Structure 1
Amino acid sequence: MENKPSLVATGIYKSFYDPAKVDILKGISFSINRGEFCSITGKSGCGKSTLLYILSTMDTDYKGELFIDSELMTNKSEKELAFVRNEKIGFVFQFHYLLNEFSVLKNVMLPGFKSSKHTEEELEHKAYELLKKLGIEKLSSKMAYQVSGGEKQRVAIARSMINDPVILMCDEPTGNLDSKNTEIVFEIFKELVHAFNKTILVVTHDENFSKKTHRIITMRDGSIM
C-alpha cells in the first residue's frame, strides 16, 4: 500500500495553435508515490501551470496518459472527471476562493456535500476536527470574510481535506502569504504527509519552500530537467 503511486503521468504532450503550433509540454513523464511531498518549479512560462491543469483533470486536451490512484483519467467523461476531482483530489490555490456568505466551518464542509458519503452531522464533525488539526477551530463560527489571509489559506487547506483525497494539488499556495504564514502552511503540509500519509504536489516559485519538499521536479521549456 505504502508505495502505490498516487499519480502517474506518461508522455504528456500539449500544444497550442497561435496560429502556428506551439509545443507547451513535451513528453512529461513522472510518478508520485503515496505520502510523497513534491514540488514543481521553473521559470514563468515553462509550462508548470499548464501541467497542473492537466494533472488535476481540468484540461483534457493533451496527448499521453494520466493515472490517478491507479485509474486511467484519459477519455473519461466530464461527469466522471468531476467525480474524481471531488473524491480524489484536494485543491489549494494561491487565492483561497472561500465563500464570504458562509462560516468558516461551512466553507470546509462544502465539497463534502457533493459527495454523499457522510451525513451533514458527520461532515460538521469532520470539518471541525480538521480545523482543530490546523489550530484554527476557534474560527469555525466566524464568517469567511472575518478571518485574515493566512487563516483563510488554512481554512482552504482544511476544505481540500474534507473528502479525504488521494492527492492534494496546490498552485502557488503561499504566493500571497508573508514568510511567517508561508512557514505555517509548509508545516501543515508536512504534517498532512506525516500524519495522514497524504500525497502533496505543489507548483511554486518559492525556492525556499520547494527546497524543503521531498522532491523537486524542475521544468524548463515544457520539459522536465
Structure 2
Amino acid sequence: MSTTSLLQTACMTGKRTGRLAVGLLAVIVFLASLAVSDQAFAHAALIKTDPADGAVLAQGPAQFSLTFSEPVSPLVLTLVKPDGKPVPLTAFRLSDQTVEIDNPQPLKSGTHVLSWRVISADGHPVGGSLLFSIGAPSEPPAVSEAVDWPLRSAIWASKIFLYVGLFLGVGGAFALAWLAGSARAGQRFVAAAILSGLVASSLSLGLQGLDALGAPLSHLAQSVIWRTGLGTSFGWTVLVALIALGLGLLSLA
C-alpha cells in the first residue's frame, strides 16, 4: 500500500473516529437532558393557607399567606373582589416555604378569590386559588380558568418536534457515525430532524414562559416571557437539549 493510500485511510479513520466521538457525546448530553426533564415531575404543593380556603372572616386580614411543600417564587398573585374586579398583589415577602402577601386595601363584605401562580424550587410553575368571605358569603366572583388551547397545542407541538430532533436526530447522527462509516445515506433526514429540534427547542422556551405566567400567544415577543421560561425546570432541559442537538449536527460535518 502506498504512502498516499495510508494517509487517505488514516484521514478517513480519523474523521470517522471524530464523528463517532462527537455523536457519542451528543447521546450522553441527550440522556442528561432526559434526566433533567424527569426532575420536573416533583414540584411544590400548597399545604397551608391563611385565611383557610372557604373561611368566613369578620374583617379583612392585614395579609395573606401561602405555605408550600418547598420554597417558591411568586409569578402572579391576584385578589378578585366580589364584583369580579381583579387587584394585582405586588407586595409580598418570602419566609422559608411561605409567601406572605400584603393586603393593599380594605375589603368589602362578600366572597373574594385569592389566585396565585408560583414557580417552585425545581423550576416548575404551579397555580391555584382559594375562596374566603368577609362578613357573609356571597356568589363567588367569576375567575377565568379557560384552557388556552392555541397555546396548549403549540406547547405540545414544540415538544413533539423537540423529541423528534433528540431521538431521530441525535440518535440518527450517532447511528450514522457508528454504522455508516463513509456512506452517509440518511444524513439529510437526520439533519432535518436535528434542525427541527433546534427550532422547536428554542420556541418551546418562550411557550413555557407564556404557560408559567398564564399569558396568551400574543405576548410571545416580550422579554419577560423568555426570561421566565428560562427560569423554569424545562428551561434547563432546553439548554441541555440544544447542546445535544448542536453536537449531533456537528457530527454530521
TM-score (norm 2): 0.23
TM-score by length of 1: 0.25
Q: Which has the larger radius of gyration?
A: 2
The structure, 1 or 2, with the larger RCO (C-alpha pairs under 8 Å, 6+ apart) is 1
Structure with higher strand content? 1
